[in-house]
Amino acid sequence: MAPQTKSSTPAGNGATATTRASTDAKKDSEKGQKKEEPLPIGPQSGLSFIPTQFIHEQRVRQMLLNVGCNETQEDQLRIKGVQLIDNVRQSLQLPVKTFDTAATYYHKFRIRFPSEEYNYEDVALATLFVACKVEDTIKKSKEILCAAHNLRHHETKTPDDKHFEGPSKFTIGLERHILETIGFDFRVQYPQKYLIKQVRRMFPRDSADPSEAQRFLHVAYDMSIDLYKTFAPIKQSTETLVMAVLEVTALFLDTAQDKLKAVKSRRSRTERGCVLETMLDLMDLYTQFPKSTKVGVQFDIKKAMDIKIGLNKLVADDDHKRHFGWCERCPKDAPEPPPTPGSATSPATNSSLPGGNSVKRTAKSNERTLRFVFNSELAHQERDLVSAYFKEEYEEYEMEIDEPIRDSPTEPRGPRSSGHSHRNNHHNDSHGWGPYPRSRPGHHGDRHKGRKGGGYY
């Protein structure tokens, strides 16, 4: 028989070991429960705004139709605004890239808001103020306003003048509204830089006639400035703009056609229809508003008309459309709400009106956060992922409920007889009419006010 061995353990140590084991098991169970619990649903990601760098002509017209712009008046205000930006830019000696940025923001802002809500001069100067910050050619708002004032009134005021206190506040207030309108998308084209490179390829330094190259570059450079008086910079790419300027310049000067073919023979990243559309946009500008352009005043209007007729014939022969990517099936006159990033309304005040020193905006219809996203694929993925958590599902149930039927009143409801006295019927004056009890005349709770002797007066 095997001997039995007894082991003794102190009571305190055994209790401590048991307590630790149970604590560890409890912690492990809590960790397992935390891992199994679903993640809490947070707030919605907000309203996503995806800015687009280029807009088709059809979309531009639709947006102008939505804000109720008059086409003729809008063309004049567009040209005046860009001309004001160019004049102030030259007065402050700012580079041409600042002009390109300001003119682009000016177009994007005005196609989203009607002319009645903003003075075009205020918008032009505010976009130039924003462009100075974007292009790191910083100028104060008072300096820009002072330069515009001196050009308009032929004065020599300084930016420290008290006259610019009110307009400066409005310009600073309008700055954020412009940033929201462009969607914080600061991508802008600079066709002048690429234009100079192309002209140098056409006219090398060892060319026979350097004056021809200078004349060609001078006209082409001025035309690149006039190009921003149209909507072409927000519709076409840089290469498209430069090729259109080179071809129109060659048609105006009747020269460099062979050298232009050498440039066109290179591998191009643009469509021929886009180039023709931009050329016709320029010719529309030179035939309708020649005195408001730099190149239009240098040539005869008949010359511009002949070039435009030739381009229209070229478009018809090559089976191109006047506007590239035009959809015939899309509705033309159906207005739709403009996709404004901030609120659907804009301030109805400007600095030219009394008291118009601040930007006023109404409350938003949706108070969710506005976010600006630049990658459309990631925005769509995020939208699909978030929508699963905020999808509202309903289930219909049919329930049968027994409701007791109330007993009908013993006496019919109806007006009292005219022969009965109110005093004699106070004990039975309800007649089934609830829930207001009727009291005797003269009682403080009688709801028939203004009685005298039992009658009305």
CA distance 233 to 429: 85
pLDDT one-digit tens code per residue, 39-67: 555 556 666 667 777 888 888 888 888 88
CA distance 248 to 227: 11
Q: Does residue 34 register a pLDDT over 90?
A: no
Q: Does residue 204 register a pLDDT over 70?
A: yes
What DSSP assignment string belongs to 245-305?
Answer: HHHHHHHHHT--HHHHHHHHTS--SS-HHHHHHHHHHHHHHHHHSGGGSTTTTTS-HHHHH
Identify the band that residue 95 occupies on the pLDDT scale cut at 50, 70 and 90: very high
Buried b (16+ CB within 10 A) or exposed e, 276-307: bbbbbbbbebbeebbebbbbbeeeeeeebeeb
Q: Does residue 27 register a pLDDT over 60?
A: no
Q: Which two tokens stand for residue 280?
A: 């016709």
CATH 1.10.472.10 applies to domain 47-188+337-354+369-382 = yes
**pLDDT, greater one: 140 or 23:** 140
Q: Does residue 342 register a pLDDT over 50?
A: no
Kind plus residue range of the DSSP H or E element containing 371: strand 370-372
Contact 226, 293 (CB under 8 A): yes
Contacts of 354 (CB under 8 A, 6+ apart): none
Predicted local distance difference test score (pLDDT) of residue 70: 79
Predicted local distance difference test score (pLDDT) of residue 87: 95
Domain ranges within the chain, ordered by starting residue: 47-188+337-354+369-382, 190-332
Helices 257-264 and 238-253, packing angle to 10 deg: 160
Q: Which two tokens stand for residue 262?
A: 């050498």
Per-residue pLDDT, averaged over 296-323, amounts to: 89
